[in-house]
Structures are given as C-alpha cells and as structure tokens.
C-alpha cells in the first residue's frame, strides 16, 4: 500500500487531466485561490488549466506569461505602469500561440513600440481593447495592423486616431468583425468608406459621436454581414442617410440612433420596413413624438423585437397600447424622461408584454402605485425596475412587486421619497443585487434592518443623502449583506466611526463613497483600510474630520486602491506624500482643494506617484507653481490633468 508524506494530499497522485477536470468545477475565485495554495502540483495544474487572467500589478507579468502557456484572455486594464518597457519585458523572447484577447483599456502610457512587440509575440491575437487610451494614435493603429487575425478592436475615445490610422487597420486587418470608434472625432467619411471597402466581414460597428455625414451611411449600407450599428449623437445624419440603410444590403439586428436629432420618425420607419428581424431599437431623444407610421411598422417586428428605448419622447396611453399590441415579445423597454406616461398606459403595455425583464420609468412623474400593481400582475419574471424620481410610488405598489416579482435583481428608487415600510415590502425580493435609495431622507436604520435580514445577495447599495441612516443601519448591512461590493453613504451625516467599523468585515467591498460624512475621523478610515482589503475606489471628499492617521492607514493597507478623492480633507504635506507614494495601484487622484498642503507638498506627492497616474484633478492656482519637469513627466505618461478653479489656501 502506498503511503503519502504528512501534509501531502492523496489527490496529488491523480493524473493532471483528472485534476484539471476537478478544477473546472471550482468557479468561485476564492476556491480557486485556495486550490493554488494546497501544493506545487495543484499550482502546476492551475497553470495548465487557466484560460483567463486579470492582473493588478505589472511586476509579475513576465513570469506569469511564461507559466500560463494556455492563457487565452489577458486583462491589464487595472494594472498601473503599463508602458512600452513593461510590455517589452513581458513579451520578450516568447510566443503566446494561445493568447487571443488583450484588454489594455485606459493604459495611456502605451505607444506603438509596445503594441508592436505584443502583436509580434501573439500571432493568434483576435481581440484588443484600447478604449480611453489617450496616447493611442495613427502610429499605434499601424502597429495593430500587423495582427492579420484581428476580429474585434475597441478604440473608444482614442482622440489621436484619424482616417490614416483607420486605413492602416482596415488594410492590415481585413477580417475585422467588431469595431468601436466611439468619440474618435478625427475620423471622417473618408475613413469610414475605406473601412467598409476593406473589412467586408464587419458585424458590429459603433460610430457614435463622430462628425460623419450621410455619405458614411451610404458606404455602411453595403456591408452584407452588418448586424449591430450604433451611431449615437451623429447630428449630421438625416433621413437621407437612413434611406441608404433602407435600400442597403445589411441584415441589421440592433440599431442605436439615440440623440440623432436630424432624423425623423418617418425616416426611422423606413429602416424598420427594410429590416424585419430587428431585435433592439434605441431611438431616445431623437424626435419629440412617435408618428403613426412608426407605430404601424412595429407590427412587422412582432416576432423579433425584444428591446426598445424611447427615452425623452411624448408617449400617450394609446401609443403604449399600440406598442404592447405589436411587440408582445418585448424583454426590455426604456421610457426614461418620457412625457405623458400614465398608469393607464403602463397597464396597457404590461398586460400585453408579460415577458418584460427590464422596465425603465425614470422621471415618469405621473405614475403611481397602480402602475407597479399592473407590472406585478403581468410581468412575473421582472429583473430590473428603474423608478428614479417617481414621487407617486409608495409601499403599496412596492409590496405588490415584492410579492409577485421574485426574480427582481435591480431596482432604482432614487428620489422617490419612500420610507421604512416600503423597504419592508421590498425586502421580500430576496434575490436583489442592486438597490438605489438615494435622496430618500425618510429611510432610517429600521428600513435597512429589513434589507440586511433578507437580501443576502445584495452587491450594490446607494444611500446618497439618506440623512436618516446611521451606524445601526450600517451594522445591519455589514452583518447581513456579506457580498456587498459598492456602497454610497455620501452626506449621511449621522454615520460615525462606529458605522464604518461595521463595514470592515466586507471582504468583497471595492467601492466606497462617503463624501461629507463629517463625523468620521481617522479611526473610522483606519478600520476600513484594515478590514476592506479589496477596496479599489474611495471617495471621501469633504471628510473634514479625517486626519493623517486615517490617510497613513490607507497608505499602509489599501494596496489595491486605484482611485481616490480626498479634496477638501485636512491632509498634510507628509500625509499626502506617504499616501501617493505608497498606493502602488493608484491611477486616479482628485486633489483639487487641500488647504493643509503646500506647493512643495503637491510637488513631492506627484513625483512619488507620476509613473502610475492616469488622471488627476488639481486646483488651477497650482499650475504655474509646479515645476515644469513634473508636468512634463505626467504628460509623457499619458496622464490627463483637469485643472479646477479653486482659491489658494490661506497662509
């Protein structure tokens, strides 16, 4: 009989393929982490099995890429200090034949040399995300053009990309299927025309906010495989452009023409006529009223349409009745900020569309509990309900939602004026994941006790300006909602250090907003820093009772913190230097009004963190006083600095 040394599991005798199958049955990240810590053999199996990886620090990247030979998806969007030298060090001397997807979103220091090095090392690269990379321009697009298998590319708000760069990618990556050009303002009709001629396999194209004209739609209309087209706020496109899509060769399934204010309801109707298999239609804030022709054409989509957004329209009850009759398979409807929405219209709509999963009634101020009762009676599988600024909602309607909609996962009750009794009714929805209660001052600790007791899966909680909430309410949330990831307690002035101490056991908490919680001191912030080690974003603007003790605790314990707002906080020169220098993951810092910090303090802090920073908010008075060297270093790293007009501190 074989004996195993003490501390070694008998599982290590199993073949690697069996261990991989066991590991496949551990979807939870914490379980997989525990697996890797068992022994070297289990760690080796993780190397063999892992297909996806998201890094928070770049120092280990070279070793990781050499160990995880089967890696297919790599996410570096949260990793600071990703520049050409870091990419070269990581990809030097290796060939990653399995790697197909790389996310470099917001890595503004990356340039063409690093991208070229990555492309050469990854011959099977199919997906690249460079969204919000302010340093990406035509030269970087030329580097990507050497990836002939590229299928998906996102360059949202890469302001340096012009028609020249787009042409390079179009010629080199002719197999492109998905391309996001949103906010690339230098791209014109010329670039779109060449793209269409070279990339005939395009299925998903986003040209939102571009200054393109009808000529671009004429080109796009020839793409036979195009299924998804987004062109939000393309104000130069009118009904003539839409007529090209009507007569084109596309097989559109989803269109988003929101805020295209030069198109009419009649012009849009022509697209529906030509594309009878549309599943999604987004036309919010386009034209004030829906024409009868548009409503009649919806009947052609009776069997296909699943989602429609008509935000900002004037919609009568008869219009909603017609939509309900013609679109019985709807899963989502958006009616945010629509005039004329009444209980009668919502009753007509919901009774005809029982499959609805998402209903957005934001700022529909005329609806009352009758609308909620109608939705509860008909839409039993409702998952998302947005009711921001609907003051006619009370516990009566929410009680029916709680009784009937057991699948409800997300609800927005911001500025609805509800009270604790309403939360008691809503707490019956035990599958709630996201709950927004901002600007509801009648909510107290008692209401949060109901939520903490029953909504165990809650991940997002917004208590913005819920001034009736205090420490006991946070105790109920901290004790009951252990999966909480985001919480907003801004301007909840009753909360003290004791309340924050109740949050320190939330291991998954990543986002804490606590502006002007004036009774919190350094002790409360210390408790959060020590207990919430997963914290990524922290907003403590105007927390005027927090001293250097709290900031030093953040510097020591919050190693994952990427974004911080400490404006109007009494931090000193030394505290700011320690904070900025120690937060190894910090990328966004808002420091526009720090009365206790001198020019020299700002200078030292920025020098300590300049390699990591992607975005800064600083007071205008500081601009001429900072050394030119510091500003040049920040600019070279692609850091975007927003200068805010604030008065200089008094001596």
Tell me the average pLDDT across 638-649.
89
- The CB density around residue 27, as the number of other CB atoms within 10 Å, is 7
In this prediction, residue 1 carries a pLDDT of: 44
Band (pLDDT 50/70/90 cuts) for residue 530 is: very high
Is residue 588 within 8 A of residue 561, CB to CB? The reply is no
Residue 8 in this model has a pLDDT that exceeds 80 = no
Burial level of 650, CB count in 10 A (0-12/13-18/19+)?
Answer: exposed
Q: For 582, what's the count of Cα atoms within 13 Å in the CB-facing half-sphere?
A: 15
Q: Where does 534-639 have alpha helices with state H?
A: 548-557, 573-582, 599-609, 628-636
Find the radius of gyration of the CA atoms of the chain.
27
Angle between helical axes of 369-378 and 343-352 (0-180°, round to 10): 0
User: How far does CA 597 lie from the centroid of its chain?
Assistant: 33
- Cβ atoms of 528 and 555 within 8 Å: the answer is no
**CA 431/CA 441 separation, integer angstroms:** 25
Average pLDDT, stretch 381-393? 97
Is residue 14 scored above 90 in pLDDT?
A: no
55 pLDDT band, cuts 50/70/90, is confident
pLDDT band at 560 (very low <50, low <70, confident <90, very high): very high
CB atoms within 10 A of CB 304: 15
The answer to whether residue 381 scores a pLDDT higher than 90 is yes
More confident residue, 41 or 457: 457
Q: Report phi then psi at 263, rounded to 5.
A: -95, 155
Q: What is the arithmetic mean of pLDDT over 267-283?
A: 91
Percent pLDDT > 70 in the chain is 95
Q: Are 220 and 192 in contact (CB under 8 A)?
A: yes
DSSP 14: S
User: What is the value of pTM for the model shown?
Assistant: 0.92
Q: Strands of 143-209 (E only): list them.
A: 152-154, 178-180, 204-206
Residue 577 is predicted with a pLDDT of: 97
Find the length of the chain: 651
pLDDT for position 22: 72
pLDDT for residue 230: 98
Residues 6+ apart with CB under 8 A from 21: none
Best CA proximity match to 65, nearest among 106, 93, 105: 93
pLDDT at residue 26, as a whole number: 73
Three-state secondary structure call for residue 174: coil
- pLDDT(15) > 80: no
Q: For the ranges 188-202, 430-444, 623-637, which has the lowest average pLDDT?
A: 623-637
Share of the chain above pLDDT 90, in %: 80
Confidence of residue 13 (pLDDT cuts 50, 70, 90): low
| CB-based contact 306:282 (threshold 8 Å) | no
User: In the prediction, which pLDDT does 70 show?
Assistant: 83
Position of tokens 């261990």? 19
Q: What is the DSSP string of 125-143?
A: --EEE-TT-TT-BHHHHHH
Element (H, E) at 537: strand 537-539
How many angstroms separate the CA atoms of 647 and 327, rounded?
A: 56
- Report the range of poorest mean pLDDT among 62-76, 204-218, 500-514: 62-76
Predicted confidence band of residue 41 (pLDDT cuts 50, 70, 90):
low
Write out 584-608 in H/E/C secondary structure: CCCCEEECCCCCCCCHHHHHHHHHH
Cβ proximity of 82 and 104 under 8 Å: yes
Q: Which residue has the higher pLDDT, 47 or 30?
A: 30
Q: In whole numbers, what is the pLDDT of the chain averaged over residues?
A: 92
Contact 551, 524 (CB under 8 A): no
Question: Is the separation of the CB atoms in 246 and 270 below 8 Å?
Answer: yes
Q: Tell me the C-alpha to C-alpha distance, in Å, between residue 311 and each of 259, 302, 336, 606, 621.
A: 10, 21, 5, 43, 41
3-state helix, strand, coil in the chain (%, to 5): 35, 15, 50
Taking alpha carbons only, the member of 472, 419, 465 closest to residue 449 is 472
pLDDT digits (tens, 9 = 90+) for 178-228: 999 999 999 999 999 999 999 999 999 999 999 999 999 999 999 999 999
Q: What does DSSP assign to residue 643?
A: E
- The yes-or-no verdict on residue 156 having pLDDT over 60 is yes
* Alpha carbons 591 and 569: distance in angstroms, whole number: 9
SS (H, E, C) 364-386: CCCCCHHHHHHHHHHCCCCCEEE
- Judged against a pLDDT cut of 60, whether residue 3 lies above it is answered with no
Using CA atoms in the order 648, 649, 650, 651, what is the torsion angle rounded to 10 degrees? -110
Q: Which of 450, 408, 459 is nearest to 425 (CA)?
A: 450
What DSSP line would sit under 463-525, residue for residue?
-TT-TT--HHHHHHHHHH-TT--EEE-TT-TT--HHHHHTTTT-TT--EEE-TT-TT--HHHH
- Region of 111 (left: φ > 0; alpha: ψ -120 to 50; beta: rest) is beta
| pLDDT confidence tier of residue 10, bands split at 50, 70 and 90 | low
């Amino acid at each position: 009989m074989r004996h195993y040394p003490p501390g070694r599991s008998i599982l290590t005798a199993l073949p690697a393929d069996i261990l991989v199958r066991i590991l496949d049955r551990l979807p939870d990240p914490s379980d997989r982490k525990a697996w890797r810590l068992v022994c070297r053999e289990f760690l080796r199996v993780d190397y063999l099995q892992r297909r996806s990886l998201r890094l928070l620090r770049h120092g280990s990247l070279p070793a990781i890429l050499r160990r995880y030979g089967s890696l297919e998806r790599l996410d570096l969007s949260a990793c600071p200090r990703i520049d050409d030298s870091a990419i070269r060090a990581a990809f030097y001397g290796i060939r990653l034949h399995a790697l197909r997807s790389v996310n470099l979103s917001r890595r503004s220091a990356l340039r063409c040399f690093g991208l070229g090095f990555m492309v050469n090392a990854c011959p099977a690269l199919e997906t690249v995300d460079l969204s919000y990379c302010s340093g990406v321009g035509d030269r970087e697009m030329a580097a990507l053009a050497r990836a002939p298998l590229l299928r998906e590319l996102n360059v949202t708000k890469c302001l340096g990309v012009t028609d020249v760069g787009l042409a390079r990618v179009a010629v080199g990556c002719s197999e492109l299927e998905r391309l996001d050009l949103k906010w690339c303002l230098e791209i014109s009709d010329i670039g779109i025309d060449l793209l269409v001629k070279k990339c005939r396999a395009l299925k998903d194209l986003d040209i939102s906010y571009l200054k393109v004209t009808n000529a671009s739609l004429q080109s796009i209309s020839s793409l036979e495989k195009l299924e998804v087209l987004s062109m939000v706020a393309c104000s130069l496109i009118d009904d003539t452009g839409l007529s090209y899509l009507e007569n084109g060769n596309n097989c559109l399934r989803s269109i988003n023409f929101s805020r295209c204010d030069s198109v009419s309801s009649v012009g849009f109707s022509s697209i529906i006529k030509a594309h009878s298999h549309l599943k999604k239609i987004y036309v919010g804030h386009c034209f004030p009223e829906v024409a009868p022709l548009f409503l009649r054409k919806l009947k052609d989509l009776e069997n296909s349409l699943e989602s429609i957004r008509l935000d900002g329209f004037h919609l009568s009850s008869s219009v909603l009745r017609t939509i309900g009759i013609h679109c019985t398979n709807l899963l989502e409807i958006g009616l945010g900020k629509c005039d004329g929405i009444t209980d009668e219209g919502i009753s007509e709509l919901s009774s005809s569309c029982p499959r609805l999963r998402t209903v957005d009634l934001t700022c529909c101020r005329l609806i009352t509990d009758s609308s909620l009762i109608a939705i509860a009676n008909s839409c039993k599988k409702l998952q998302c309900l947005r009711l921001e600024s609907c003051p006619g909602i009370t516990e009566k309607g929410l009680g029916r939602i709680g009784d009937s909609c057991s699948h409800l996962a997300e609800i927005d009750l911001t500025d609805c004026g509800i009270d604790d009794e309403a939360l008691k009714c809503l707490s019956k929805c035990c599958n709630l994941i996201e709950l927004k209660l901002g600007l509801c001052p009648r909510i107290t600790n008692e209401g949060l006790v109901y939520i903490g007791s029953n909504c165990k899966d809650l991940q997002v909680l917004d208590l913005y300006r819920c001034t009736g909430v205090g420490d006991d309410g946070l105790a109920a949330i901290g004790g009951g909602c252990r999966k909480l990831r985001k919480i907003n307690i801004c301007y909840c002035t009753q909360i003290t250090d004791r309340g924050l101490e109740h949050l320190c056991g939330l291991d998954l908490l990543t986002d804490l907003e606590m502006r002007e919680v004036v009774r919190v001191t350094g002790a409360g912030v210390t408790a959060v820093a020590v207990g919430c080690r997963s914290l990524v974003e922290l907003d403590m603007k105007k927390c005027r009772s927090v001293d250097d003790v709290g900031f030093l605790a953040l510097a020591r314990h919050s190693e994952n913190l990427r974004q911080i707002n400490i404006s109007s906080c009494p931090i000193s020169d030394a505290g700011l230097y320690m904070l900025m220098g120690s937060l190894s993951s910090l990328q966004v810092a808002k420091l526009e009004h720090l009365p206790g910090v001198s020019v020299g303090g700002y200078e030292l802090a920025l020098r300590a963190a300049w390699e990591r920073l992607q975005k800064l908010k600083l007071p205008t008075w500081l601009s001429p006083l900072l050394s030119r060297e510091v500003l040049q270093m920040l600019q070279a790293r692609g850091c975007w600095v927003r200068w805010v007009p604030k008065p200089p501190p008094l001596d």
